[in-house]
Amino acid sequence: MKSLKLLPLLFLSSCRASVTSLGSCPNVRGIPNFDKNRYLGSWYEYANVFEFYQIGSTCVRATYTDLGNKIGVFNEQVNSITGGYGNVKGSARPAKRSGEFIVGFDNIPFGGGGGGNTPNYRVVDTDYTSYAIVYNCNPFLGFMKKESLWLLTRAQFPSKYLVSAAYRKMDKLGLPRKDLAKTPQTKCKDLPPPGSATFQLSIESLG
């Protein structure tokens, strides 16, 4: 498997997938009574705030697994520039607030390692079965902010109704929805079935 250099990480400790603007961060927090078990499994990236390092990235999918007091994070993509399929593995540990996590990735440049001490992944809305809105915001230079935003869906090709409803929720929360870029989910023949690559990695680690 090829290592990823341009993977659009769904969990970013430094929030590099971000939009910078004037003002302070809105008071948008993780959802109360977050149910970790219902959130586990595979999610497709429908859209996120685009950054230059994501050029060529398509077919992005994240799979979350139960690691006891942490959540395993396994991100996959097909990249037309670096060539074919690639993945990266990390973990998320719960922050103090419900629905918020501190995430880092291992063995990749700027992966964040343990993720530091500040939440960088906030599930601000989800029904667990069809969509999740993930957000983060960091103050910048005292008078600016860096915002990250993702729309994740269980289905690789969600309905227009679902997407429109999620976008309305983003607008209601005051999130930078207009800065989202849709993630291509076509020509994904090199993307393995959900769960198959993570299972293979676990077998290899035992060997």
> 70-118 pLDDT, tens per residue?
999 999 999 878 778 989 899 999 999 999 999 988 765 544 445 567 8
- Angle, CA of 41, 7 and 106, to the nearest 5°: 75
Summarize pLDDT for 143-164 with one digit per residue, the tens.
888 899 999 999 999 999 999 9
Number of Cβ within a 10 Å radius of residue 178: 9
Summarize pLDDT for 16-57 with one digit per residue, the tens.
456 776 778 889 999 999 999 999 999 999 999 876 656 778
Question: Distance between CA atoms of 27 and 157, rounded to whole angstroms?
Answer: 31
Q: How high is the pLDDT of residue 111? A: 46
Q: E strands along 1-107, which residues?
A: 19-22, 41-49, 57-66, 71-79, 84-94, 100-105
CATH number given to 19-206 = 2.40.128.20
Global model pTM greater than 0.85:
no
Instruction: Please report, for the chain, the start and end positions of each structural domain, with discontinuous segments joined by +.
Output: 19-206
Assess contact for 108 and 88: CB atoms under 8 A: yes
Q: How high is the pLDDT of residue 166? A: 98
More confident residue, 110 or 185: 185
